[in-house]
Amino acid sequence: MAVDADVVVVGGGPVGLMLACELALARVRVRVLEQRPARMQQSRALTLHPRTLEILDQRGIVDRFLRRGFPVPTAHFALLEPRLDLSRLDTRHPYTLFLPQVQTEELLEERARELGVEVLRGHAVVEVAQGDGGVELQVQGPEGRYGARAGYVAGCDGGASVVRRSIGVGFPGTDTTMTAFLGDVEIAERPARPFIRTGPRGAVLMVPLGDGLHRFVVLDPLRAHADRSEPLTLDELRSSVQRILGTDFGMSNARWLSRFGNATRLAERYRLGRVFLAGDAAHIHFPMGGQGLNVGLQDAMNLGWKLAAAINGWAPPPLLDSYHDERHPVGRALARNTEAQTRLIDVSDPGLALREIMSDLLAIDAVNRRLAGQISALDVAYPPAEGAPAHASTGRRAKDRALEMARGPARLFELLHAGRFVLLDLAGDADLQAAGGAYRDRVDVVHATIVDPPDDLAGVDALLVRPDGHIAWASDGARRVTRLDDLRKALARWCGPA
C-alpha cells in the first residue's frame, strides 16, 4: 500500500493532528501515519495554556475544548506554593484549561477527519529518505511493509523520533540525572481539593482526573536516581507518598504508573530540506509547568500555514526557513525554563531556602506577571525581518479585539478562522485596500474599527495579521509617505508575488 500525499505527518498525537488540521484547512493533501493501533488511554499532559486556547479560538474550535474541560485561573512554577496569577493576563482565555491529553487528542482527530485528513493507525514509519522533489518513506503497516512518497514530511513522532534520526539531525542536550514518577490511582480518602506539598522529605502533586481516578506526581529524594526503565509499582508509589505526607490516601487499583526523567534536548535544526520536526521530536524536557504539549501545538500552528503556502505555490523563498528561525529560540527558552524549575524543586536544606526566597519573589506582581507570561506563551514574539521597518507590534501576537464592521460587530479571531492573512484597515484607506486586494487569494482585506482601542494599539491605523495570529506589519500613520510601499514590501516578504 503506497500513501502518496503532499505531506505525510508522522505521529498521530495532538501535535501531528494539529498540523494536519492546519494543512487540510489550506486544501493540502495530508496523511497522518501513527504507529499505535489506537489512541493512548493515558494522558501525559493535563492542561491547555492560554496561548494554545487562543490558537484554537483563531480556528473557531475552542468551544469544543471548553465544553470538555474546566478553567483554572492559576498555574504553578516549580511546585512553589504562591501560584502564578493568569486571571490578569490580557487575553480572552486568562486561565489554563484542565483537559486530559486523551480528550485533546480525540477532539483534534475529530476536527482532522472533518477536514478530510486520513489518519492511519498501526502504520509505523521505519525510515525516511529525501530524494529529488520528494521524500521516500518505508512503513510497517498492518499488512506488511510498504513504501510511500510525499512532497514533504513532518516528524511529530516524539522524543525518540524515527524521522529525526533518519535525516541525521542532531539532538544535543543533557541526559537524565534525576527521575520522578506518577500514578493514576483510586483512593479511599479523597482530599477536598488538588494540592502541591513540598518539604524535606519530597514533593507531591495531586489532582483528580474524574471517574474516581486521582493523579499523584511524586519527587522522592530517596528514589530520584532510579533508572527510568525500572518499572514503577503501586507499592513504591504508596510508600513514597506515605513517607512524604504521612498517608497514602488508601491507594488502590492503579490504572497507570510511569517513571520519567529530566533529560533535556533540542534538535539542532527544525527543518532539513523537505523534512520538518515539531513537538517532542524537536524538544524534550522535564515536564514542569505542563508546557511541552502546548509548545508543540504552537509549533504546528507556526509550521502549518507556511508549509501549505509552499505547496500551494506562493511561499516566498525564506518562508519555510522562518519556521526554524522563529520556533527554535522558543524551544531553547522552554529548555532553560524547565531546567530552572527542575533546579528549584531541590528539597535539601539549601534548596528549601532557595524555594523560600523564590516564593517571596513570586509575591511581587511584576515577577509573577512575567513568569505567567512565559508559562502561558503569551510573551512569545518573533523578530521582524531584517531590514524591514518595524513597528513595536511587529512579531507579537495579535490580541483578540472587539471590532465594529459594516456587517456588525465581530472579533479579530473570527477573521482568522479560514487560516488566511488578514489586512485590517482601521482608517478607511482605499489605496491600502487595493494593495491588499492584489493578494485576494491569500489575504482577506477588512475595513473595521477597534472598539475601545487598547494602549498597545494606540494610533495604529492598519495591521497585517499572519494566519497564526502574529502581526506581520503595522502602521501608526507616522510613515504615511512610505506607508503603502512598506505594506507592499511586507506582503511580498510574507505572501510572495501578487
Sign of the Cα pseudo-torsion (409, 413, 418, 419, in order): positive
> Three-state DSSP class for 242?
helix
| Delimiting residues of CATH 3.40.30.120 domain(s) in the chain | 402-495
DSSP structure string for 330-357: HHHHHHHHHHHHHHHT--SHHHHHHHHH
| Delimiting residues of CATH 3.50.50.60 domain(s) in the chain | 4-46+100-174+264-345
What is the rounded distance in angstroms from the CA atom of residue 269 to the CA atom of residue 271? 5
Per-residue pLDDT of the chain (498 residues; tens, 9 = 90+): 456 899 999 999 999 999 999 999 999 999 999 999 999 888 999 999 999 999 999 999 999 999 999 999 999 999 999 999 999 999 999 999 999 999 999 999 999 999 999 999 999 999 999 988 899 999 999 999 999 999 999 999 999 999 999 999 999 999 999 999 999 999 999 998 999 999 999 999 999 998 889 999 999 999 999 999 999 999 999 999 999 999 999 999 999 999 999 999 999 999 999 999 999 999 999 998 889 999 999 999 999 999 999 999 999 999 999 999 999 999 999 999 999 999 999 999 999 999 999 999 999 999 999 999 999 999 999 998 776 667 888 999 999 999 999 899 999 999 999 999 999 999 999 999 999 999 999 999 999 998 877 767 778 899 999 999 999 999 987 666 678 999 999 999 999 999
Q: Which one, of 20, 75, 88, 67, lies nearest residue 49 by Cα?
A: 75
Rounded to 5°, the CA angle 432-428-399 comes to 85
C-alpha cell at 47: 492542561
User: Are 161 and 281 in contact, with CB atoms under 8 Å apart?
Assistant: yes
Q: What is the helix (H) or strand (E) element at residue 214, kind and residue range?
A: strand 213-219
User: Are 386 and 493 in contact, with CB atoms under 8 Å apart?
Assistant: no
Domain 179-261 CATH class label: alpha beta
Q: Which one, of 421, 423, 466, 468, lies nearest residue 442 by Cα?
A: 421
Pick the CATH number of 4-46+100-174+264-345 from 1.10.10.60, 3.50.50.60, 3.40.47.10, 2.60.120.10: 3.50.50.60
Cα separation values, 306 from 116, 277, 321, 457, Å:
20, 14, 9, 26
Q: What is the architecture, at CATH level 2, of domain 402-495?
A: 3-Layer(aba) Sandwich (3.40)
What is the rounded distance in angstroms from the CA atom of residue 283 to the CA atom of residue 277? 9
What is the rounded distance in angstroms from the CA atom of residue 397 to the CA atom of residue 298? 12
